[in-house]
Amino acid sequence: ELIEHVKTLDPDDMRIDRAQDSIERLYTNFDEHFYKLKNELEERLALLENMHSALLPATAEIEGQIKQRLLDKLANSNLPVDINDERFLKEMLYYADKSDVTEELTRLSSHFVQFRNFLNGTPGGGRSMDFLVQEMFREITTLGNKAGSGPVAEIVVRFKSELEKIREQIQN
């Protein structure tokens, strides 16, 4: 719109030429910066998706590990426990179920799709992307808290680090 207005002015005025050149350079610089930022965010999102894929097998064993830890603690406590007692088994299943991270992994996948849509031009970018990054932080934190195991914790730390880099880019 500004360029069109400048074009209506006296073409013999050198200031107009310089202003038009400056505006065109500004648009070119903006476009270059935008595409570089978009590419960087896409690369970081791909890293998050790879870490998500690595979490799938790492989290598959969590429920069994928690059950085993509980049984080991009970055995070491020297408490008389009948592992065939229905009430006891229900409690064990309750604690094991609380460690299920399927929902968090599913929501992360959904957030990845939404984030990619914003990168590809879905209206509402900026603040919505920031909100999605916040949601991803919540999901990965919950997952890390539930899992509590070495390999998962390592991936969670790297995941959060990449998310923080994305947040910084979006907020700038």
Per-residue pLDDT tens digits for 17-60: 676 777 777 666 666 777 888 899 999 999 999 999 999 888 88
Q: Which pLDDT does position 142 carry in this prediction?
A: 93
pTM for this predicted structure: 0.71
Q: What is the pLDDT along the chain (172 residues), one digit of tens a residue?
A: 666 665 666 666 566 667 677 777 766 666 677 788 889 999 999 999 999 999 988 888 777 777 777 778 877 888 777 778 888 778 877 777 777 888 999 999 999 999 999 888 866 667 888 999 999 999 999 999 888 777 889 999 999 999 999 999 888 7
**SS3 labels along the chain:** CHHHHHHCCCCCCHHHHHHHHHHHHHHHHHHHHHHHHHHHHHHHHHHHHHHHHHHHHHHCCHHHHHHHHHHHHHHHHCCCCCCCCHHHHHHHHHHHHCCCCHHHHHHHHHHHHHHHHHHCCCCCHHHHHHHHHHHHHHHHHHHHHHHCCHHHHHHHHHHHHHHHHHHHHHHC
